[in-house]
Amino acid sequence: MRYVDEYRDGDLASRVAAAIAAEADPGRHYALMEFCGGHTHAICRYGIEDLLPPNVTMIHGPGCPVCVLPIGRLDMAIELAMRPEVILCTYGDMMRVPGRDRTSLMKAKAGGADIRMVYGSGDALRVARENPGREVVFFAIGFETTAPTTAVALVQAASMGLRNFSVFANHVLTPSAIQAILDSPEVSATGTVRVDGFIGPGHVSTIIGSAPYERFARDYRRPIVVSGFEPLDIMQSVLMLVRQLNGGRCEVENQFNRAVSRDGNGKAQALVERVFELRDSFEWRGLGTIPDSALQIREEFADWDAERRWQLRYVPVADNRACSCAQILRGAKKPLDCAIFGTACTPENPMGSCMVSPEGSCAAYYLYGRWRDTPQRAKTG
């Protein structure tokens, strides 16, 4: 298949669905977690769960960089933005995420802060060049997918001697999050969340490759299939997981081989290694504090590190008690299990990050109407 339409072919999807139904053992349950929010949205948008037999269920994971950023880190960005000398450049996704006391970057902007939405670090560099009398800070978030572009911006800023540019780095790492899920009490101790296998994140894997997942398949006995984002990619990945589980195999397989190799993008990895190093610890929303799970800027580029330049201090902030984002990100709940989903919490008035981000599970359920025809909705609506 070479064209997008072929990845969305309804007849072929029906045949793959029939194969899954035929091969799924009716005597067992298959609980599969898709790590990436892009997969969650594709599953909801194309109604993939409706094509699966009842004993094959999808669990939504924490793979949304906006969703997993804790409130305390967002508060640090708001603190930066409120400084009169600062222009804060951020992705649009972050603007409406609620911070402490329901503040947000959007409200800070309405209050006079100079906050500009950008598509990437290159745009932030341009803003810095165009405003030599101001301090321009790029609010960098994301997994391994976006870290290389931030690294490029830091290298360029250093080579240009662009002293009015800095980066507030919040890049997090996928393998650490997978391990945290597998080690979480819900999965490992109590067994209240069952995860039989993972659909691996395709975007991240274009950078890091499929090799970093091999230890999870080996040590935790969970099969992983790295998947593309079209509906047939995901359907095929589900079938590959069902076949592994039926055969008692726990391996890393690569469905997304048109973009992902075992070793990934060496050039991007080298660039990230040059600019960043591991943080000792980093708090994730929903997963808690995880050692070696995020990146910080190396000493060589300290002059462009916003945390050092502005001496920012992280203060943990508890999530809104009415919001179930933390449990949803761990797979312990689904969006429809949250008492305020679709009532007090909507995309127009989000209470939590999962409803704000385009990759968030709650936003996907709401946007594609997965709540309209479910018995669960009748209980909570």
Q: Residue 91: which of 57, 110, 64, 62 has the closest Cα?
A: 64
Query: Which pLDDT score, from 0 to 100, does residue 184 have?
Result: 87
Q: Of the given ranges (135-144, 205-214, 369-378), which has the lowest mean pLDDT? A: 369-378
Residue 377 pLDDT > 50: no
- What one-letter code names the amino acid at 145? T
Query: Which pLDDT score, from 0 to 100, does residue 223 have?
Result: 97
Q: Of the given ranges (13-22, 167-176, 317-326), which has the lowest mean pLDDT? A: 317-326
> Residue 327: how many CA atoms within 13 Å on its side-chain side?
15
Residue 205 near residue 231 (C-beta atoms within 8 A): no
**At 348, is the pLDDT very low, low, confident or very high (cuts 50, 70, 90)?**
confident
Query: Which pLDDT score, from 0 to 100, does residue 372 have?
Result: 56
What is the SS3 assignment for 17? Answer: helix
Residue 202 near residue 228 (C-beta atoms within 8 A): yes
pLDDT digits (tens, 9 = 90+) for 220-258: 999 999 999 999 999 999 999 999 999 999 999 999 999
Residue 378 pLDDT > 90: no
**At 379, is the pLDDT very low, low, confident or very high (cuts 50, 70, 90)?**
very low
Residue 376 pLDDT > 50: no
The C-alpha angle with vertex 256 and arms to 251 and 262, in degrees rounded to 5, equals 55
The pTM assigned to this predicted structure is 0.92
- Average pLDDT score over residue span 59-63: 92
C-alpha distances in angstroms, 309 versus 71, 80, 297?
Answer: 21, 11, 12
- Average pLDDT score over residue span 163-180: 96
What is the SS3 assignment for 57? Answer: strand
- Average pLDDT score over residue span 328-344: 91
Per-range mean pLDDT, top range of 271-275, 284-288, 363-367: 271-275
Residue 2 pLDDT > 70: no
Query: Which pLDDT score, from 0 to 100, does residue 185 have?
Result: 85
What is the C-alpha separation between 296 and 20, in angstroms, rounded?
Answer: 43
More confident residue, 63 or 376: 63
**At 324, is the pLDDT very low, low, confident or very high (cuts 50, 70, 90)?**
very high
Residue 380 pLDDT > 50: no
pLDDT digits (tens, 9 = 90+) for 83-118: 999 999 999 999 999 999 889 999 999 999 999 999
Token pair of 187, please?
């999965």
Average predicted confidence (pLDDT) for the chain? 93
Residue 125 near residue 165 (C-beta atoms within 8 A): yes
